[in-house]
Amino acid sequence: MVEHQLEHYLKKYFGFETFKVGQQSIIESVLAGHNTLATLPTGSGKSITYQLPALLSAGITIVVSPLLSLMIDQVKVLKAKGIKRVATLTSLHNSHQKQRILNHLSNVQLLYCSPEMLQQSHVMNYLKQQHVNYFVIDEAHCLSQWGHEFRTDYLKLNTVHRELGQPPLLALSATATDEVQQDIVNHFNLSFEKIIYPIDRPNITLSVRNVETVEEKHRQLTKLLEKKRMPTMIYFSSRMKSESVCYMLQQQFPDRSIAFYHGGMESEDRLLIQQQFMYDQLDVICCTSAFGMGVDKANIRLVIHYHMPSDLESYIQEIGRAGRDGRPSLACLLYQRGDESLPFHLIGQELPDDEMISAFLQAEDLSDKLTETQERFLAFQAEKNRYSSNDLFHIIQQVRDQRLAVKKDSIIGLLKWIHTDQCRRQVLYKKFQEEVKTPEYDCCDQCGFRVDDWELPNDVSFSLEVNWEKRLNELFNKR
Amino acid sequence: MSFSRWLLPRLKQVEGERTPRSVLHILRGKKSAQTFQDSRLFHLADFYHVLPRLSVDAFDQAINQLKKDGLIEEQDSLVVMTELGEHFCQDHWQLELNGMDYGAITRPFYIRLQLLIQSVSNLIHNQTQFFPITDDESVQASIKKIFNDYNPLAQNGEVLYDELNRLFRLLNENDANLMMLTISGSDQIGLSYQQIAEKWQMDPIMIELSVQSVLHQWLGYITSNPNSFNLIKQLIPKQDENRLTESALLTKHMYNRGMSIDQIVEKRRLKPSTIEDHIVELAMKEILFSIRKFVSLEDEKRIRYVLEEDMTKRLKRIKEQLDGQVSYFQIRLVIARLGQEKEAISNG
Ligand SMILES: Nc1ncnc2c1ncn2[C@@H]1O[C@H](COP(=O)(O)OP(=O)(O)OP(=O)(O)O)[C@@H](O)[C@H]1O
Ligand SMILES: [Mg+2]
Ligand SMILES: [Zn+2]
C-alpha cells in the first residue's frame, strides 16, 4: 500500500495525522506478509502496528498478551474510538460468554487472547475454522527465559501458530536483548524480518537517590513532591507499604489528591482510581506493579521508585509510563542499602524449593502451599519432561536453579546500575543497543543533573466539585 | 461516627440470645432460614443485606473495638451489653434503610444508574470516547437497551436531569453531596467510599451505609411513585419474586415490616382467609420463609407425623386425628413446607 494511503487510514481509524517513528515500516512489513520481529520504545505506539493491519485485512487477527488488564484496556480504547469488531477471550469469561464470542468469530477483526486460552482444544477448533490473517505476540520477551517475565504458557505458541496454518507473525517488545530476540526466532524456527529500533527515551531524565534510613527516604520523597503539583506515580513492591506511605503523604500534602492502587483492591475501586488518574483528578498514585503495564496516560511527569524492581527490563517498562507526550519527565529511584533483600525474597516465592518439587512429584496435595507461579512452573516442567529417562526431580531442580541464577543476575544487574558512576542512560540501555540518543533535556545525575534544580513547565490543576446541585448542572451542561 | 458505635444498637437487639456473628450474617444478607428468621425476630429486617461485601475481618475488628471500649462483653459466646454500653445505645445516626425489601436489588440498580448518568453526561458534552465505570458486560447491555428504547439524550437529557433533580431534593444537603461525589460524568470521576471517607475523616463503612440509605430511600420513593420516574424506574431489576402473585407480594412486604396478619387484614381490607392464603403461598414458594410464628415446632412435628402416614388424607381427617388442637391454617402451612422440601429434593 502506498504511503499516503496508509496515512489516510491512520487518520480515519485513529485520528492521527502522521506515523510515529518506526510504525510505518513495521506495518508495511506485516502487510507484506513477513514474519516480523520488532522493538520500539515504551509509549511509541506499538499497538497500532497490528491494529491497523487488522482493520485493513479480511479475516481475524489474533493478539496474544500476557496481562488481562492490558487487553481489557486496549479493547476499551478501541471501542471508545468507534472500532467495535474487537473482543477479548480470557479466563475472566464464563463458559457461556466464551461460547458466545466463539460463535461470532466471523464478526471479529481483532481478538485479544491470553496464552492459556490457546491451549484449549475447544477454542482452537473454532479458531482453526477462521481465516487468521496475522498472529501477534505482544510483550514477546515473555517467550524467552532470558526475558524478565518468562512465561511458560508462551512456550506453546509455536504449536498454536502451526495449527493456525502459520499466518504472518508479529512479535513486539520494548525490552528484547539480542539473546531474547534469538530465543524468539529459535522458538518458531522461521525466518524473520527484524525491525529493531533503539528503545531509549530521550525525554526522561534518570536519577538515583541513595539514602541511609527510611526517614531519609521519606524526606526525599517529600522533597520531590513538594516541587509542584504534577501527575506522579510511586512504585512499591509491597501492597501494605503502598497504603501506609499513601496515608503519610495525604497528611503531608492535604491539598493534593493522593490514592493507592494494588491488586488486593475490589476491581470497581481499581477502575475508579485508574480513571481519576487519567482525568488528572489524582495527583499522586502509590501503586504496585499491578498498575503500570497498559497504563497509557500522556502527561505523567514523575515516576518514583520507593522500592527497586527486580531487573532492568521491569525498570525500563515502569519508567516508560512517564512522558508519553514527549515532554520533559523525571524518573527517580530511592535506594536504601539492603533494599535488594525484598526482590531476592520475592524470587524465592516464584520458584519451588526442593521439598515442594518432591512433594509435587509424589502427587501430594499442595493446593494452598504453592504460589500460582510455583504451581505453573512445576506443572509445565513435569509435563515437558514426562518422557525423559532421567530422574525428574533432578531435571526440575536443575531448571529451577538455572532460572534462579538468571533472576539473581538480573537483580545484581539492577544493583550495578544503581551503583554505577557512569552515565545512567548508557548503562541502562547497554544490553539493548550500542548508543543512546542525545537526551532532549537533562540526562542523569551522573551527568550533572541535580534533582533540586529540576524545573517543570506544566501545571495541571483540578478542583473537585462537592456541591451536588452545581455538579448536576455540570453533568447536563447547564450553567 | 465509627462503624463499631453504629453496630452497638444492632448488637443490643440480639443481646443474650445470639453471637455477634449472627449480626454479621444479617448485614451480609446471608441466605439461610436462620438468618432470615433472626432478622425478623430481633427487628433487624431493615439491616438485612445492607453490607453484602462486609469482610469478617472488618466486622471482628469492630467487635473487638467495642470490647476494648468496655461497651460489650461475650458470655457463653453470646453478646451482652455492659452498663456503659447501654448508655451509648441510642441511634444518633439517622439512616433510612430497608434492606429486607431492597437489599438484593440495590447494587445492580446503583451500577446501572451510575453508568446511565455517565453515558448521558458524556454524550451531551459530545464526548464519545469515555471509559464506562463498570466492565460488567451485562450492565453495559442493559444500558444500551435503555438508550434504544427510551432515547435518554432527547432535549439534552432533560428527563433524566429532572428525575435526578427530584430524587436529590429528597435528601438532606450532606447526603446529597455525598451521593453526588460517587457519580462519574464528563466533568469528574466518582470517588470510592475509601476516598470520601479520607476526605471527610469518616469510616468507609459508614459512607457505604449512607449511600445504601440514600438508595433505599430512592427505591422506596420510585416504586411508590412509578409514574413520576419513567426513565429511572427502568433501572430497577425485577425481583426474583415474580413467582408470587401480585397480592401475595404486597402481603409479604407488609409482613416483612413486622405487621401481623390482623394488621394486614385491617390495612388491606381483605378477608383473613385471603391473607392466610398469601402466607401459605409464601411458605410454599419461598424457602427462606419461616412458619414458626404460626406453628410451634411441637405442633409441626405432630402434624408431620400424621401426614407422613398418608399424604392424601383430607384436612378434616388430619384435624380429627390431632384431636382438633391445630387449625386448618397450620396444617396447610406444614403441607406447604413439606411440598417445598420435596421439590427441593427432586430439583437436586
Ligand atoms: N501515530 C501516532 N500519532 C500520535 N499518537 C500515537 C500514534 N500512534 C500511537 N499513538 C499514541 O501513543 C500512545 C502509546 O501507544 P501504545 O500504548 O501502543 O504504546 P506501546 O508502544 O505499546 O507502549 P508500551 O511498551 O508501554 O506498551 C497511545 O496513546 C497511542 O494512542
Ligand atoms: Mg504496548
Ligand atoms: Zn547521563
pLDDT tens profile B191-243: 999 899 988 888 999 999 999 999 999 999 999 899 999 999 999 987 664 46
pLDDT digits (tens, 9 = 90+) for A112-167: 999 989 999 999 999 999 999 999 999 999 888 766 677 778 888 999 999 999 99
pLDDT digits (tens, 9 = 90+) for A346-384: 888 888 999 999 998 888 777 778 887 888 888 888 888
Most confident of A242-256, A293-307, B127-141: A242-256
φ, ψ for residue B79, nearest 5 deg: -75, 135
pLDDT digits (tens, 9 = 90+) for A2-30: 556 999 999 999 989 899 999 999 999 99
**Helix, strand, or coil here: A444?**
strand
Residue B11 is predicted with a pLDDT of 96
Check whether A280 has a pLDDT greater than 60. Answer: yes
CA angle, B199 as apex, B194 and B203 as ends, to 5°? 50
Percent of chain B with pLDDT over 90: 52
How far away is chain A from the Cα of B267, in angstroms, using its nearest Cα? 39
Distances (CA, A) of A471 to A474, B132, B168, B188: 5, 19, 12, 9
The pairing of beta strand A329-336 with beta strand A204-211: parallel
pLDDT < 70 positions in chain B:
32-33, 239-244, 287, 310-314, 339-348
- The rounded distance, in Å, linking the Cα atoms of B205 and B189 is 20
**Helix, strand, or coil here: A332?**
strand
- The rounded distance, in Å, linking the Cα atoms of B137 and A76 is 12
Interface mutation target, options A476, A478, A479, chain B, most CBs of B under 10 Å: A476
CA-proximal residue: ligand 1, atom 22 (nearest)? A46
Q: Indicate which atom in ligand 1 lies nearest the CA of residue A320.
A: 26
CA-proximal residue: ligand 1, atom 16 (nearest)? A45
How far away is chain B from the Cα of A269, in angstroms, using its nearest Cα? 6
DSSP per residue, B49-112: TS-TT--HHHHHHHHHHHHHTTSEEEETTEEEE-HHHHHT-S--S-----HHHHHHHHHHHHHH
How far away is chain A from the Cα of B179, in angstroms, using its nearest Cα? 8
- The rounded distance, in Å, linking the Cα atoms of A36 and A39 is 10
φ, ψ for residue A286, nearest 5 deg: -95, 115
Smallest CA-to-CA distance from A148 within A461, A432, A437, A446 is with A432
φ, ψ for residue A232, nearest 5 deg: -135, 140
Q: Do B134 and A271 touch (CB under 8 A)?
A: yes
Would you call A101 an interface residue with chain B, using a CB distance cutoff of 8 Å?
Answer: no
- The rounded distance, in Å, linking the Cα atoms of A62 and A111 is 5
Q: Which of B156, B185, B192 comes nearest A269 by C-beta?
A: B192
Would you call B129 an interface residue with chain A, using a CB distance cutoff of 8 Å?
Answer: yes
Q: Do A476 and B180 touch (CB under 8 A)?
A: no
CA-proximal residue: ligand 1, atom 23 (nearest)? A43
Q: How many CB atoms lie within 10 A of CB A421?
A: 7
8-state DSSP, A156: G
How far away is chain B from the Cα of A45, in angstroms, using its nearest Cα? 19
- Considering only CB atoms, which chain B residues are within 8 Å of A475? 117, 120-121, 183, 185-187
**Helix, strand, or coil here: A144?**
coil
Counting every residue, how long is chain B? 348
Q: Which residues line ligand 1 (CB under 6 A)?
A: A 16, 19-20, 23, 40, 42-48, 174, 296, 320, 324
B163 → chain A, closest CA residue: A472
CA-proximal residue: ligand 1, atom 25 (nearest)? A42
- Considering only CB atoms, which chain A residues are within 8 Å of B121? 475-476
Q: Between A293 and A65, where is the model more confident?
A: A65
- The rounded distance, in Å, linking the Cα atoms of A350 and A311 is 15
Task: Calculate the average pLDDT of chain A.
Answer: 90
Q: Which three cell numbers stand for residue A241?
A: 507499604
Q: Do B188 and A268 touch (CB under 8 A)?
A: no
pLDDT digits (tens, 9 = 90+) for B96-142: 999 988 988 999 999 999 999 999 999 999 888 888 898 888 899 99
Ligand 1 centroid, distance to A47 Cα (angstroms)? 6
Q: Which three cell numbers stand for residue A268?
A: 470497581
Residue B242 is predicted with a pLDDT of 47
How far away is chain B from the Cα of A276, in angstroms, using its nearest Cα? 6
Question: Which distant-in-sequence residues (6+ apart) come within 8 Å of A340 by Cβ?
Answer: A308, A411, A415
Ligand 1 centroid, distance to A379 Cα (angstroms)? 36
Residue B28 is predicted with a pLDDT of 95
Residue B322 is predicted with a pLDDT of 83
Would you call A464 an interface residue with chain B, using a CB distance cutoff of 8 Å?
Answer: yes
Check whether A423 has a pLDDT greater than 70. Answer: yes
- The rounded distance, in Å, linking the Cα atoms of A477 and B121 is 8
Residue type, A116: E
B155 → chain A, closest CA residue: A476
- Considering only CB atoms, which chain B residues are within 8 Å of A259? 195
Residue B243 is predicted with a pLDDT of 60
Would you call A104 an interface residue with chain B, using a CB distance cutoff of 8 Å?
Answer: no
Q: Do A82 and B130 touch (CB under 8 A)?
A: no
CA angle, A377 as apex, A374 and A382 as ends, to 5°? 125
Chain-centre distance for alpha carbon A391? 37
Query: A163-174 burial string, b = 16+ CB within 10 Å, else e?
Result: ebeebbbbbbbb
- The rounded distance, in Å, linking the Cα atoms of A275 and B184 is 10
Would you call A266 an interface residue with chain B, using a CB distance cutoff of 8 Å?
Answer: yes
- Considering only CB atoms, which chain A residues are within 8 Å of B117? 475
Would you call B181 an interface residue with chain A, using a CB distance cutoff of 8 Å?
Answer: yes
Which stretches of A155-283 are assigned E, i.e. beta strand?
A: 169-173, 193-196, 204-211, 232-235, 258-261
Chain-centre distance for alpha carbon A280? 22
Q: Which three cell numbers stand for residue A247?
A: 496515608
